[in-house]
Amino acid sequence: MTETIKTINDFEQQKQKFGKMLKEITESHITTENINNFANTALNKLIELNDEITSSYKNISTERSSGKRLEDLAYDFYQINRIDDLLTTIQQKYQQIEELKLFIFNETKMDPRVFVPASQKDMFQTAKGDTTWERKKNIPRLIMLLYLLENDFGIPKENVKLTEGVTLNTQMRKEPYFRIEIDDLQKLIYICIEEGNVTYIFDQKELKQLGVQTETLDEKSKKERRKMLTKNPQMGTKINQSKYWRERMTKLLSSEDLNYLENNPEKELKPIFDLQKQEPVPKISTDKNDEWYGFYTDENGEHWGTSDALCAKLKIGNNTYKKLIRKYKDKLKTKLVATTKNVRFNLHSLQNMQEICDLQKYIEYERTNTEDDDEWENFFDDGQGGHWASISTIAKKLRENPNTITNNILNKNKTTSPYSFASKKILDSRNSEITAYKYEDIENADFIKEKEGIPQVAKIDNEKLNQFANFYTDEQGNLWGTASAIAKKLETNWSTLKNAIKKHNIKPIDIIDAYGHLQKNGGYPLKEIEKIFRR
């Protein structure tokens, strides 16, 4: 009896031991620290587990089988799940990581500039007698980023643009920064694999709205980036290296609101178990005729939508949306859902936002018309004959220089503008809140009307129409241009040209220059002036 109890206890102990070993393998997750060796480590642990299970079974069994037959009997005896699928998954992970390394090697473009250049204090020059400088270790953050994009977001590596900068001999940093453009997520990232360097993540939409060019951002130092992010926290944030780098990066990539000032001290984040089968991710509706286009409707009738879809339903703009999810972030629910490109985002619930957010405080703006090929596309029709849009949209329809309208409306010249135009807030096609003006008011303004019938120079050459850039062609085929345009054409200086015009009493005409500005008595005949300079 005692021997039987001992045997049962031994069995239970072995079963628990093997179950714990298997759980440790299946719950392992890839990090920046272990990604290079993850598959080999997991495989070695799996081999060790397999050897222990079969060896233990052979010691207590009379079974004389071997190979796969013995392994199956041993796993069934200890009630442990067989490892065939797990072994396949490990092999797939190894293959995937090796392919990512090869992709980085083959597909990264080179840029001769230094990305994220060092400040003066980070520069050095080696002198005689200096002690040996110890190189910092490298952390494979770039491989980790591409891996999580493929696994956590469903974005293939081929959809990612990689550009590598250079380093200088005078820098302490020996590894360059990489620029990573992820258009599917509208994110721009700067990564350096050398220990001690932060990772930057920027919102491409915000950069565009603020007029920040990628080429300009490339050359901003860490100090300059810190100032930019402090001034415009919605632009992006930075991530320090830690054991939660992957989880934090995943969270930020799936966020529609990056905020530098709200980059709170690190909290433990739930790790992703890379060797476990992931639950399928639901998808949003892609049928544009569907009332809930852009939403995933769950089994309880709750609607989870993209930012654009939620803004449309709630009648708010993107800026307001971001303010709301920032203000109520601790109360709002999220769900991982695949969008139209099969890219996964943490989406918010319409019902949850309606319940939690105080929406009455926010203006319900009218929206611009988004119908393609419509005469008033990107305008809001007020139903009373008025069409409202941004200055740039109005300028495009009037074929006018936006600066001309801006100077007269917003007093950009710091002079008293005689014009006073009504304005209102509306939402454009991207759900951005914009200041709109009435097209009809601007169309009938004196600064627009005074240009009617005034000849305008061509912006580009068109020999078929006898048009040449910066010149107006009259009915007789004569070219007229401003003094500066003619001086450039004749390769002379402006003052010499003006003196010649005055001396020979050449009669000018009113003309509109290439910038859309009315130049009163500012147009001169090219042919007549050419004759003067040929004498």
Residue indicated by tokens 């303010």: 323
Which range, 22-26, 116-120, 384-388, 423-427, is most confident?
Answer: 384-388
Please, which contacts does 72-81 make with residues 24 or more away whose CB atoms are closer than 8 Å? Answer: 78/11, 78/14, 78/15, 78/18, 78/53, 79/15, 80/15, 80/18, 80/19, 80/22, 80/53, 81/22
Evaluate if residue 127 carries a pLDDT over 50: no
Which range, 72-81, 364-373, 444-453, 468-477, is most confident?
Answer: 468-477
Choice between 15 and 442, residue whose per-residue pLDDT is larger = 442
Tell me: the pLDDT tens digits for 349-402?
Answer: 999 999 888 777 665 667 787 666 678 888 988 888 899 998 889 988 888 888
Distance (Å, whole) CA 84 – CA 92: 13
Residue indicated by tokens 């020996």: 174
Evaluate if residue 173 carries a pLDDT over 50: yes
Residue indicated by tokens 């797990």: 86
Distance (Å, whole) CA 67 – CA 55: 12
Distance (Å, whole) CA 221 – CA 199: 13
Please, which contacts does 47-51 make with residues 24 or more away whose CB atoms are closer than 8 Å? Answer: 48/21, 49/18, 49/21, 49/22, 49/25, 49/83, 50/83
Which range, 186-200, 257-271, 387-401, 411-425, is most confident?
Answer: 186-200
Evaluate if residue 268 carries a pLDDT over 80: no
Evaluate if residue 126 carries a pLDDT over 70: no
Local confidence band at 439 (pLDDT 50, 70, 90 cut-offs): very high
Of 34-38, 72-76, 306-310, 351-355, which gets the smallest average pLDDT? 72-76
Cα torsion at 400, 402, 407, 409 (round to 10°)? 90
Evaluate if residue 121 carries a pLDDT over 70: no
Tell me: the pLDDT tens digits for 485-530?
Answer: 988 888 888 888 888 888 889 999 999 888 888 888 999 999 998 8
Residue 5 is predicted with a pLDDT of: 45
Local confidence band at 224 (pLDDT 50, 70, 90 cut-offs): very high
For the chain, the average pLDDT equals: 82
**Quick check: 477 and 525 in contact, CB under 8 A?**
no
Of 38-42, 74-78, 247-251, 470-474, which gets the smallest average pLDDT? 74-78
Residue 236 DSSP one-character state: E
Evaluate if residue 201 carries a pLDDT over 90: yes
Residue 414 is predicted with a pLDDT of: 43
String of b and e for 232-264 (b: at least 16 CB within 10 Å)? Answer: bbbbbbbbeeeebbbbbbbebbbbbbbbbeebe
Percent helix, strand and coil across the chain, each to the nearest 5: 40, 15, 40
Q: What are phi and psi of 518, to 5 degrees?
A: -80, 120
- Tell me what the mean pLDDT of segment 206-217 comes to: 88
Share of the chain above pLDDT 70, in %: 86
Amino acid at 498: K
